[in-house]
Amino acid sequence: MVPLLGHARTDSAGGPAIAPFDTDAPPAGRRPRRDPVADLRAWVPDLAVAAIVAFLGLYEAATAWVLPGNRVELVFVAIGTAAAVGLSRRLPAAALALVWGVCGLQLLAGIDLMLVQVTIAAVAFGTARWGSTVTVWLSALSIPLAGLIVIAIVNSRGLGGLAGLAGNESVVDTIRELSTTWQLTAALIGAAALGAPWLAGLTLRFGDRARLSRASQEAAEEDAARAVSETEQAREIARLREDQARLANDVHDVVGHSLAVILAQAESAQYLDDTDPKALKDTMAKIATSARTSLRDVRQVLADTQQPDAPPAGLDTLVDGVRASGHEVVSTEIGVPRPLPPELEVVAFRVLQEMLTNAIKHGRRDTPVEVERHWEGELRIEVRNVVAPSPFAASEASGGAGLDGMRRRLESVGGRLDVRRRDEDGRSTFTATAWVPVRAGGA
């Protein structure tokens, strides 16, 4: 059978319920394990009702004023009706077919109508309540046809047992002989007797569908709310991770650059003339200034959850700081400088800071650090320095925490980074080039 709503299962009260899915369903390709005891227990209410109908039908057949041969026919009708009623809940299609079979044989054999056949109304209810789509439609068509069958039986046999049990057989026969519209009245009464329980079953069926629809809607709303909550949590986690990565990059850039400058200044102090205390004091003052600036920048980074603004002095401050450490820096600026948005100015500052840090750490002190800034559509920053031919320098050219941080910063605003190491004229040159868009997002 193909049900109107989901599939039939047995609820806690032993009756069938409509469910869109079965959470306890076995894996695909494997048959569920059946419990014979549970199956038999589920049939107990149906068997009890069938037994009551059978008892009433057999009692009616035993007490009817008919010939012995006809009594066997009544027993057949009673047993068939009881079986149909018993199947109306669990197997409504089979119950409908059995009713048609009993009534068809009753019409062909000329068997009298029985009072117990009133319980066929239970079959009408069951087909509308639990039957498949085809069963529901067939049961709907069966109701007017059942009225026609009753008329045919009464026309050929009279009311028989029904009128006899009511004690007014002669009155009914008189009405049947005098009235010309009794057939229509009988058909309407029969259709109403079956139609009322059928409509009741259909109402409960659609009530179940409405409840199931509401439950499905509530479940869908809960799933949607859960999905929104999980999405927000994922976004929050991603934001926190991004902030953590940004904070790590900022601390790396600030501390790494300051320590590199301080280290270079301290190393240059070793070569000062002992008889020149002023030069030594100047170097120590520069070291103190670099440390103080580094401490201020670190505090700013740790205190601010957003990306900190660039220092007011801009990129030239970085170049001057490297010169103060004792490194020779050749700075060139080509084109007309243009003001950058705050976020792009921060990126340019941090990228140049990391480039100079690498030049101080890995560059040779006897050759100058070349810094070029090109303002041609976008800001192109290029830093070149001569490095010693060592494996460490080669690894810096291919990657590293500082280079990765620069690359992420630039890509976040639509820029890009290129790092190359060239061996020419007997020396190795490390060149880092960054393209920073003049407008946010590279627009």
Amino acid at 120: I
Phi, psi dihedral angles at 24 (to 5 degrees): -100, 15
Of the chain, the percentage scoring pLDDT greater than 90 comes to 15
- Tokens 């520069």 found at: 286
Q: What does the DSSP 8-state code read for residue 309?
A: P
Token pair belonging to 323: 């010169």
Higher pLDDT, 105 or 18: 105
Q: Work out the average pLDDT over 17-37.
A: 53
- Tokens 């059942």 found at: 146
Report in angstroms the alpha-carbon separations of 166 from 52, 64, 146.
21, 12, 22
- Tokens 């120590």 found at: 284
CA atoms of 62 and 72, how far apart (whole Å): 9
Token pair belonging to 274: 């002992």
CA atoms of 262 and 253, how far apart (whole Å): 14
DSSP-assigned states of every residue in 78-145: HHHHHHHHHHTTT-HHHHHHHHHHHHHHHHHHTPPP-GGGGGHHHHHHHHHHH-BHHHHHHHHHHHHH
Contact 319, 286 (CB under 8 A): no
pLDDT of residue 39: 75
Mean pLDDT of the chain: 76
Contact 380, 373 (CB under 8 A): yes
Q: Is 169 exposed, middle or buried (0-12, 13-18, 19+ CB in 10 A)?
A: middle
Tell whether the model's pLDDT for residue 29 goes beyond 70.
Answer: no
Taking residue 157's Cβ as centre, other Cβ atoms within 10 Å add up to 15
pLDDT of residue 21: 37
Contact 50, 82 (CB under 8 A): yes
Sign of the alpha-carbon torsion through 146, 152, 157, 163: positive
Contact 124, 204 (CB under 8 A): no
Q: Work out the average pLDDT over 197-204.
A: 88
Phi, psi dihedral angles at 413 (to 5 degrees): -115, 10
Q: Work out the average pLDDT over 195-214.
A: 87
Contact 340, 379 (CB under 8 A): yes
Q: How many residues are given for the chain?
A: 443
* Domains defined along the chain, listed by start: 7-226 (no CATH), 240-442 (3.30.565.10)
Instruction: Give tens-digit pLDDT for 350-388.
Output: 888 888 888 888 888 788 899 999 988 889 999 999 886
Tell whether the model's pLDDT for residue 4 goes beyond 60.
Answer: no
Contact 117, 78 (CB under 8 A): no
Contact 130, 169 (CB under 8 A): no
Instruction: Give tens-digit pLDDT for 386-402.
Output: 886 655 444 444 455 67
Instruction: Give tens-digit pLDDT for 256-274.
Output: 777 777 777 676 766 667 7
